[in-house]
A = this chain, B = another copy of it.
């Protein structure tokens, strides 16, 4: 168990290190306002803290640096809610007041605000389709052999894809098909589309001509086969300003990871409700071993819709970042709620 004084010392060390990125010595601590012990006493406490694994030395006679266990303890027990400045609150409020009405835009602006305010890299996993329903399907032919299929959801999301069709297929067949699809599928939640398509609709289509079936295949492939994730990343370069990323190799591996959107998306998707902090080695991805990833989710009703995350060095301003994520995720939740 940690004594009160040890808690205090640990807190000071971590707070200080987060700001300066420099190892903290006993003398520096003893000089702090809320500390009334001599450096020697601090040294003893620090020796204990080190033995328990909360802090480390960078070399035998250096000041101390928080260990990952230290950060973990700090995050779990030591941080108090951060009072955001009115400037910060304003930036966020401003983002939501532009009266944008599209998922994409709101989410994108959120990512930008977040990375601007923190100087870390923000990653937002766009709204998943849980609650969204099909609003309308349209096919617009461009030429005798090409057409573009458009799918609109009740959330205003639009997917589209161009495709080729054999010239043998009649435009009237396409129209008929669209009608059938709209008849049967409008209002159906997006996640159930696949299922419905393969049972109900496929059956129905079978009863028509060969050509009609072909048309169906094309449209299905165009609209429903690929489901791509939307990942918004803000301030990729911010992380370059952190002194821990002086090494080009680290930068490279981190940037390479960030290009693998699928993996990142899966990682974020797996995060549960509320704020979640992964520190250093706790991260599943190798290239993030020197980073911390803080995630928060936003939701519609009791369905989780997406995830906001901030990626920075383990030496992160946890307190502030967590407050920011809290505010932003609840703003997102509120906004989406007001829409539907």
Contact = CB atoms under 8 A, between A and B. Distances in A.
Given A236-B255, A248-B251, A255-B240, A148 B140 contact: no
A155 B162 CA distance: 9
A148 B156 contact: yes
A248 B252 contact: no
A159 B88 CA distance: 33
Copies in the complex: 2
Q: How large is the interface on A (under 10, 10 to 19, 20 to 34, 35 or more residues)?
A: 20 to 34
A97 interface: no
Given A135-B140, A152-B148, A246-B248, A101 B164 contact: yes
A138 B136 CA distance: 11
Nearest to A339: B146
A225 to B, nearest CB: 13
Interface string A196-219: 000000000000000000000000
Contact of A142 (B135, B148, B164, B251): B135
Interface string A233-248: 0001100110001101
A275 interface: no
B163 A142 contact: no
A194 interface: no
B255 A162 contact: no
Contacts of A99: 164
A180 interface: no
Contacts of A138: 138, 150
In this complex, which of A101, A241, A256 has the most chain B Cβ atoms within 10 angstroms of its Cβ?
A101
Contacts of A248: 240, 245-246, 248, 251
Interface of A: 99, 101-102, 135-136, 138, 140, 142, 146, 148, 150, 152, 154-156, 158, 160-164, 236-237, 240-241, 245-246, 248, 251-252, 255-256, 259, 339
Given A142-B156, A237-B259, A251-B251, 18 more contacts: A99-B164, A101-B146, A101-B163, A101-B164, A135-B140, A138-B138, A142-B155, A146-B156, A146-B339, A158-B158, A236-B255, A236-B259, A237-B252, A237-B255, A237-B256, A240-B248, A245-B248, A248-B251
